[in-house]
Amino acid sequence: MSTLLFVQQDADPFRIITEFLQSPVLRITVQLLVLLFIVVWVALVYWTYTDAGRRGTSGILWGIVAVILPYLGTLIYLIVRPPEYLEESRERELELAVLERELRNNTLLCPNCRNLVEKDFLICPVCNWELKKPCVNCKRPINMEWETCPYCGTNQRSGKRISW
Ligand SMILES: [Zn+2]
Ligand SMILES: [Zn+2]
């Protein structure tokens, strides 16, 4: 009699858990969680595949990795993936090339303060260093050491045009 009472009392808290485990609410919740797991997994596989393709690595290979290792595959990919998109890096290279060409064509470094100055500047705006002198005739900027203006052919000391 006393043993039965003991068992009944002891079983009481477990009955709630048992009922909960058998309840349709839990079953539906678990099914929903499984569904959510699969949906996110498929989305991650798709994302890994397209992102890898855009970054110039094998999209198919990383897609397979993401399928075989749900979640973990994408995590591994995130760690080892190339740092930028292929188009972005190409664009940046192009931008750099344009910038370099511009620098080569239009600008120089001031020999005194090493700041960028434009090719036709007479004086460095930063340190006032004399970069060029204006031609006595056509006023175009020419190198300090040049005897004759390369644009109009005027000798800088005599002011006379060189005759060819
Ligand atoms: Zn300067
Ligand atoms: Zn000149």
Query: Is there a contact between 37 and 44 (Cβ–Cβ < 8 Å)?
Result: no
Q: Is residue 24 part of a domain?
A: yes
Indicate whether 61 and 12 sit together in one domain: yes
Residues 70 and 112 in one domain: no
In a domain, 164, yes or no: no
Both tokens of residue 26? 């839990």
Q: Which of 47, 62, 83 is the last residue of a domain?
A: 83
Domain count for the chain: 2
One domain, residues 50 and 109: no
Predicted confidence at residue 99, as pLDDT, reads 75
Q: Contact, 113 vs 120, CB < 8 A?
A: no
State residue 8's pLDDT score.
Answer: 52
Same structural domain for residues 93 and 28? no
| Residue 32, domain extent | 2-83
* Per-residue tens of pLDDT for the chain, all 164 residues: 444 445 555 557 778 788 877 888 888 999 999 999 999 999 999 999 999 888 888 889 999 999 989 899 999 999 988 877 777 777 888 888 877 776 777 788 888 998 888 888 999 999 999 999 999 999 999 999 999 999 999 999 998 987 76
Q: Kindly provide the b/e burial profile for residues 20-30, where b requires at least 16 CB atoms within 10 angstroms of the residue's own CB.
A: eeeeeeeeeee
* pTM for the model: 0.44
118 in the same domain as 58:
no
The domain boundary residue, chosen from 27, 58, 83: 83
- Ligand 2 centroid – CA 118 distance (Å): 19
Asked whether residue 145 is assigned to any structural domain, the reply reads: no
> Are 78 and 124 contained in the same domain?
no
Residues 9 and 73 in one domain: yes
The pLDDT value recorded for residue 42 is 96
Helix (H) or strand (E) holding 9, with range, is: helix 2-22
Q: What is the dihedral of CA 31, 51, 74, 57, to 10 degrees?
A: 140
In a domain, 12, yes or no: yes
Grouping H, G, I as helix, E, B as strand and the rest as coil, residue 108 is: strand
Ligand nearest to the CA of 161: 2
User: How far, in Å, CA of 111 to CA of 43, rounded?
Assistant: 58
DSSP per-residue codes, 46-57: HHHHHHHHHTTS
Cα 123 to averaged position of ligand 1 atoms, centre (Å): 8
Ligand 2 midpoint to CA 100 (Å): 29
Ligand nearest 111 Cα, by number? 1
